[in-house]
Structure 1
């Protein structure tokens, strides 16, 4: 015996048809491949990483030596992660091919910016280690190395998450039905020869 409240809560409209939650998540349509990984929750995680970048960037802005904040990398990375996170949340709530395409484009841009951030942070860490040999402020440099290392680790985790999202988004944009289009061009002389 099924209660009315349960059936109303467990069903959802999908393309004009009412289906259960497992029919939406485990569907065989290409867009369901992207929804299967729950981009809403990954979007929330991306937004948390963006807030982390921004908060650490404020602390790094005070430094006189070269840090990743000298190029405003934490702020650009935070903005990109906030955009990717909000797009992921929105695409989970209102799935469409256009929305997944926009998400895929932003994921690729953020991955490229993430690689630039990783390379610059590695150079900053090497610079701190070399400069620390000749400086008396060992404790301050150790704090900067640990902060940049933490941001480097979070950037690597974000890149992995975005690569996973990219793979699922590109798989969801591919059509599940392979179609072959055959075109035949008939010239006027071919049709005249066949009538004779």
Structure 2
């Protein structure tokens, strides 16, 4: 545990009031969050969020709203996380880092639910295709292609959500490190003196 104090011994000029300012260093090392390059990560998260959100529309049209709701929710969560990460780089504050950390945890839980749902949908689509081929059910070609496309869209959404989840885990680690209390404090004492006439 290290403690540092910086104090200047400059005395004020004769007949001039001492104008002293003390700045106490923060106990939260928020600069640790900047090691994760939150602006770049935010752009990636917004892109992934828009992509996952848009993937929900074909699923909604092919199946139902209940199957696509996870894509819409994950898309909104990823976009919101990305915007918070983008805003936190130029002017980092404890509130933005805390909001990013909390939303990352919620999004990671959403990714876990989404992975389960996507795997279920992919396996169901594969089972239907296998069942149709096994029983030699003659279906229109476009129905078979639509089932394959449905499975491909779900697989792509699964991949994107896993990628976003991995990024969010890394950013949550950086945010947690930034929010830990540091025992190092710096005290900066500045004395301002008017120019000599």
Question: One fold, TM greater than 0.5?
Answer: yes
1:167 paired residue number: 173
Whether contact under 8 Å (2:29, 2:182) holds in the other structure is yes
Residue 157 of structure 2 corresponds to residue 157 of structure 1: no
The CA deviation at 1:64 is 3.3
How many Å separate the matches in 2 of 1:151 and 1:57?
A: 9
The CA deviation at 1:92 is 1.1
The CA deviation at 1:144 is 1.0
Whether contact under 8 Å (1:56, 1:74) holds in the other structure is yes
How many Å separate the matches in 1 of 2:36 and 2:30?
A: 11
Whether contact under 8 Å (1:39, 1:91) holds in the other structure is yes
Structural mapping, 1:1-196, within 5 Å: 30-64=29-63, 68-69=67-68, 72-135=69-132, 136=139, 137-177=143-183
Q: How many residues align?
A: 150
The CA deviation at 1:58 is 1.3
- Higher relative contact order (CA closer than 8 Å, sequence separation 6+): 2
Cα deviation code 1:75-133 (max 9, x no counterpart):
11111111101111111121011211111000000100111001000001111111112
- Structure 2 unaligned segments of length 5 or more: list them: 1-22, 133-138, 186-197
The CA deviation at 1:68 is 3.4
How many Å separate the matches in 1 of 2:184 and 2:106?
A: 29
Cα deviation code 1:169-193 (max 9, x no counterpart):
00011122179xxxxxxxxxxxxxx
Q: Normalising to structure 1: TM-score of the pair?
A: 0.71
The CA deviation at 1:134 is 2.6
- Structure 1 unaligned segments of length 5 or more: list them: 1-15, 17-28, 180-196
Q: 1:34 to 1:142 in 2, by over 3 A?
A: same
The structure with the larger Rg is 2
How many Å separate the matches in 2 of 1:139 and 1:66?
A: 21
Which structure shows the bigger proportion of residues in helix conformation? 1
